[in-house]
Structure 1
């Protein structure tokens, strides 16, 4: 993998934003497979045309807004071309970065002359159709692909501890707040200061999204609006409001075409439009989030972002742009500290998963497209993409742009480095009594903004356990949502409730 002619490069990008207010659009809009195919056609046009028929490999990012029997085959049907290698990915927000990295390595090894990846979701259309009593397979124009009756949602949680499932901490929106609370305490912040940092970062992301023609919300939002709960910005899971969490109710698709530098030159593409794919790195955390050492760091995140830059011979200050995954504020806040970015840095070229939109696993495909546009305006400069999946679980970073004299050929995994940064994991116990202190926590709210319950991760001696704070325990909930004092380290008492779960009351 050292032939300079095989340096992998991005030659084409394409995006689709199927907004309900688009002129001439029907009441439902296009299905995900059709949007992916259209994004690929736009990427082909961006690359000068003729690449789709040459594709030897196509990776399709996992989609959940419509139940396909074989989504990659359906995309190929729409294109009228079936690459020799058609692959469908697992769930994970890091997968577009991984697919791009793998496509580059496929080009560098000579396995493929041209490769592509694509993603797409139509959750906005699917949800609107359900609410209106419409069937997209019958009522859309053209009709969507008939749903697969055997399809099951791939976002299963069978890797999680049963205590996490019993307490309802099985969705990203209920787990990432645990990191946020623990991180604020570790950084010496009060919850008010942590909220202000999240809101300021979100406001900066929204300004980028407002200028992105493929974004969903397309308006700048102030930090005060993000931080302040309101009917339009209800609390979701403490300490996050609606404007701090990913917005999956969108119709968006994106695609990227990759080839070798020699074939790009042979096609006559201008050098500034051809973006090299540099080195990258990947690592994971234990899939069961209760099996992690702490919630105030992410060893795999640290390892991949630092390794990607180290392999490229770059420092963060050398980069023209950075895209840090932003499903929830704690993710880019951790990563920018790992990279040593100044507080005023805006680590996105896309706009973030709240304001640009979060087509579930596909956001980073759009980030690749946005980064390519940025790098075409800064020839020779380098950038960093960082994607993440599940519950701070799967991490992948990749350098784009820059100047390389050969394809990157280091092993992708830096798992050993990530593992070396991890401490001992406390055992999880399900039955306990007496006193226990808060390791981290969240409070879950209903759609009217009223607290439904708190859930605390506790430490008792060397063990870890979960307990509930009932909505009726207003004093304890008030302590957990005090903006001027972190509850981490707060002492309290356990008792067994009638349903068998442990309840916890602050001392």
Structure 2
């Protein structure tokens, strides 16, 4: 008997509320727009009555008492299930994986996966001191899953909560692993993100339509200021955007019943969701991602494909380091000519908080409609290289059906490599594993953050508290693998790197 409940994506929609729009829609209204668009575009027959679940990506720029239920009312949907999770850049792909699995088990007939942000409108309102004509902010009635901070208190004390600093620390570890000089790696990052910028400039829903060359990306200017070594502003995710995306999943049998043309069917051929060790200070290395390594392997295995069968990728790109880490773990060489982004990435296309990868997935659906031979891998990243979700999209069902792969032993093996907790009060010699120098808005260095191992093998964190002249010098040196003296400062209640 022919299997007819394989999950398929039958439609996708995107909308960008540009800077020129005067009456600015709130996130829920943006989702109403893309929700209606995807329903209308999926089929001429009434699929609306079959949508029995909404899986919504967490909204960061505004909050509602019950956003999924409110959206269901606006779209005239009768739901069996609503899902609203805490934030995380991996959630769009993870929710699609869950929705596909549930459809395969006949739990739902059709699932709307949707998200939106309007952080630019909020910023505009604050700058102009103007009140937005939006619904009143409400605390969400419910949230599935545990609200997850991503780092522990010790890491937070040393400013690891601010993503540019953390990913910049990763970047210096990546640079050392590639054996690049500072100048070589700067050019490497510029070349990598020039390509992303060029893709964004040609994407119809991109927030930025500017194509930047490598030199513009790596050169400090008033508009491209230094954020933290080695990152300029143009290397960092832009969260201040107004964007929404939606995709609609159903199963083959319903698509046939509604006469949705097979050329509009896109299969989720391979999936995986893995976590790295939660605590950054307890990971074996700063420049790797076992979750990405195993996730890409498992997704390809389920799809029955080799890496060479993938025509294009969308690698999560909040900062260069995560792209470089993913390339290494997946096995994509620097000379590979395949696209690493479908949209242009978070600094250029736009980084609408947790919802970015839904735009990549919607773009993948559109690309496969136009190029039926295409097979695309999307990799979504959450936290601080903490959680990764994979989706492989194409025109045929997975080789290994959903639920036939037991991933728990692999996840357990990843988490079992946790190092001992870091030493909070450190005195001795530290070998640097990663670092960053933080700059203020005038591009003057303020302080540094260092992570490394003591001679005992225990990890610790420390600040660099030096004058601007010394910090400028340090920002032009390679500190990774250097041995530095660390002392606990009782007055400041933190570890400090000491220089002779």
TM-score normalised over the length of structure 1: 0.92
Quickly say closer, same or farther: Cα 1:354–1:155, change in 2 above 3 A. farther
1-structure distance, mates of 2:374, 2:353: 29
Instruction: Output aligned runs, 1:347-362, within 5 Å.
Output: 347-362=340-355
CA distance in 2, matches of 1:43, 1:13: 5
Give the whole-Å Cα distance in 2 for the aligned partners of 1:100 and 1:470. 46
Deviation at 1:505, TM superposition (A): 2.7
Give the C-alpha shift of residue 14 in structure 1. 1.0
Are 2:141 and 1:145 aligned?
A: no
Matched residue SS, 2:4: helix
Contact 2:446 2:468 (C-alpha < 8 Å) held by counterparts: no
Q: 1:453 Cα deviation (Å)?
A: 0.6
Please show how residues 74-89 of structure 1 align to structure 2 within 5 Å: 74-89=70-85
2:36 to 41, 44, 52: 41
Q: Which range moves more in the overlay, 258-267 or 273-282?
A: 258-267
Q: Number of aligned residue pairs: give it.
A: 493
Q: Residues 209-224 of structure 1 correspond to what in structure 2 (within 5 A)?
A: 209-224=200-215
1:94 lines up with 2:84 in the alignment: no
Q: State whether structure 2 residue 2 is matched by structure 1 residue 6.
A: no
Change (3 A) 1:433 1:388: same
Where does residue 278 of structure 2 map in the other structure? 287
Contact preservation (8 Å) 2:56, 2:115 = yes
CA RMSD of aligned residues (A): 2.3
CA contact (8 A) 2:66 2:141 kept: no
1:161 aligns with 2:152: yes
Out of 478, 481, 491, the position equivalent to 1:489 is 481
Report what 1:375 is aligned to. Answer: 368
Provide the residue aligned with 1:185 in structure 2. Answer: 176
- What does the per-residue CA deviation read over 1:150-187, in whole Å, with 9 as the maximum and x for residues that have no partner? 89999977563322122222122221112111111111
Residue matched to 1:253: 244
Unpaired segments ≥5 residues, structure 1: none
Cα distance in 2, alignment partners of residues 428 and 392 from structure 1 = 19
1:404 aligns with 2:397: yes
Shifted more, 76-85 versus 30-39: the winner is 76-85
Could you tell me how far 1:385 is from its partner in structure 2? 1.1
State the Cα distance separating 1:268 from its structure 2 match.
Answer: 2.2
Provide structure 2 residue ranges, at least 5 long, that are not aligned to the other structure: none
Listed as ranges, the matches of 1:418-433 within 5 Å are 420=413, 423=417, 425-433=419-427
- Aligned mates of 2:196, 2:429 — CA distance in 1: 42
In structure 2, the CA distance between the partners of 1:156 and 1:110, relative to structure 1 (3 Å rule), is: closer
**What's the CA shift for 1:455?**
0.6
When residues 278 and 172 of structure 1 are mapped into structure 2, their CA distance, relative to the original with a 3 A threshold, is same
Q: Deviations over 1:412-453 (max 9, x none)?
A: 773533554674514311112232221111111111111111
Give 2:287's aligned residue: 296
Name 1:455's counterpart in structure 2: 449
**Cα 1:416–1:448 shift into 2, 3 Å:** farther
1:384 matched to 2:377? The reply is yes
SS in 2 for 1:395: strand
Report SS of the residue matched to 1:465. strand
Note closer, same or farther for the CA distance 1:151–1:20 as it changes in structure 2 (3 Å cut): farther
TM-score by length of 2: 0.93
* CA displacement at 1:266 relative to structure 2: 2.6
C-alpha spacing 1:308/1:473, structure 2 compared with 1 (3 Å): same
Partner Cα distance (2:232, 2:420) in 1: 30
